[in-house]
Structure 1
Amino acid sequence: MKHSTTPQTRRGHRGGPARRIGRTLALVLPVVLVLSGTLAVTRVNWTGSPSSSVLAASDVSSAEVSAKTVSRAPQDVLRDQLITELQKKDPGVVLTHLQQAVNGHPSLARHCAAIARSLGQAAARIYGVPRAQSYARPVCDTSFASGVLAARG
C-alpha cells in the first residue's frame, strides 16, 4: 500500500492562513458592503436640484429634509420659474409655457389650476387688473382669470 506524501487534513482541523483569511473575509465583507452602500445612498443628491449641496444623513434631521423636499416640489419649481418669467415677459408667453410644461409632464396637470391662479395674481400685481385680464385664456380651466379677479379684491 502506498502512502501519500501530502499531509491529509482531518475534520475539525483549522487549516492554513488562506483558510483563516477566507473566514475573516466571509465575516467582514458583508458588513463593509452594507456600510459602504448606506454611506453611498446618503451622499446621493435626491432633490433633483444640481445647485443644492450634498449632505450626509447625519448632517440634517429628517424634519428638515422633508420640509426642504416639500417646499421644492416640481409644481413649486415650475410656479416659481413662471412667476420669474412673468416679470420679464407678458402673461401670454408665460401661459403658453405653463401649457407646454403640463403637456410635457402630465403629472403637473393636477397642479395646473393652482399655478395658473398664482400667475393671474402675480400678473395683476405686475400689470394691473385690466391689462392682466386681457391675457386670460382657457389654460388650466380659466384659473388665470380667477387669479386676476382674486387679486382685485
Structure 2
Amino acid sequence: MNQTARRIGRSLALVLPVVLVLSGTLAVSSVPWAGQRSEAQLLTASAENVSVRSAEPRTPEDVLRDRLLTELEREDPGVALTHLQRAVEDSPSLARHCMSIARDLGTAAVRVYGPTEAQSYSRPVCDTSFAGGVASAS
C-alpha cells in the first residue's frame, strides 16, 4: 500500500504543476500580442546578425537571462530559479520579466536534463512559469 501511495504522490507531483500552468497560461499564449514566430523566422533573424555586433547595450533582463541559463547548465535548474527569485527581490524592475525568464529556464532545462528531471525542479517562482516552459518543451 505504501508503494501505491508513493506512486500516486509522484504522479500528482509531476502532473499537477503542469495542469495548473497550462490552465493559467494557455489563454495568454493564444492572444495575438504574444509575439509567436515560426522557427524559420527566428533562425533567419539570428543568422542575419551573426557577425554584426549590436550597437544597443543589452538590457538587464537579457543579461540576467543569459547568466541564469549558463548557471542552469553548470549547476542545476534549482540554483538558477533561486537566483532568479533573489534578482527579482533585489531589483523589482525585473519582476515584469520574471515569467518569461522562468519559462526560458524551463525550456532549457528540458534540453539539458530531459522532461522528467526538469519537472522535478519546478516550484512556484514567477507564477510557475518554469513548469510552463518544461511543458511546452516536452
Q: Is the TM-score greater than 0.5?
A: yes
SS in 2 for 1:80: helix
Once the two structures are aligned, what percentage of the paired residues are identical?
A: 65
Is 1:102 aligned with 2:68? no
C-alpha distance in 2 between matches for 1:100 and 1:127: 23
CA–CA distance in structure 1, aligned partners of residues 94 and 77 of structure 2: 19
| Other-structure match for 1:111 | 97
Question: Hey, what does 1:24 align to over in structure 2?
Answer: none
Structure 2 match to 1:77 = 63
Structure 1 CA distance for aligned equivalents of residues 78 and 71 of structure 2: 11
Q: Which runs of 5+ in 1 are unaligned?
A: 1-63
Equivalent residue of 1:87, what SS?
helix
The reply on whether 1:123 has 2:109 as its aligned counterpart is yes
Instruction: Look up the SS of the partner of 1:139 in the other structure.
Output: coil
Q: Normalising to structure 1: TM-score of the pair?
A: 0.54
| Structure possessing the higher radius of gyration over alpha carbons | 1
More contact order relative to length (CA 8 Å, sep ≥ 6): 2
Of stretches 86-95 and 125-134 in structure 1, the one that deviates more from structure 2 is 86-95
Q: Which structure shows the bigger proportion of residues in helix conformation?
A: 2
Q: CA RMSD in A?
A: 0.9
> Unmatched 5+ residue regions in structure 2?
1-53
Letter aligned with residue 85 of structure 1: E
2:111 maps to amino acid: R
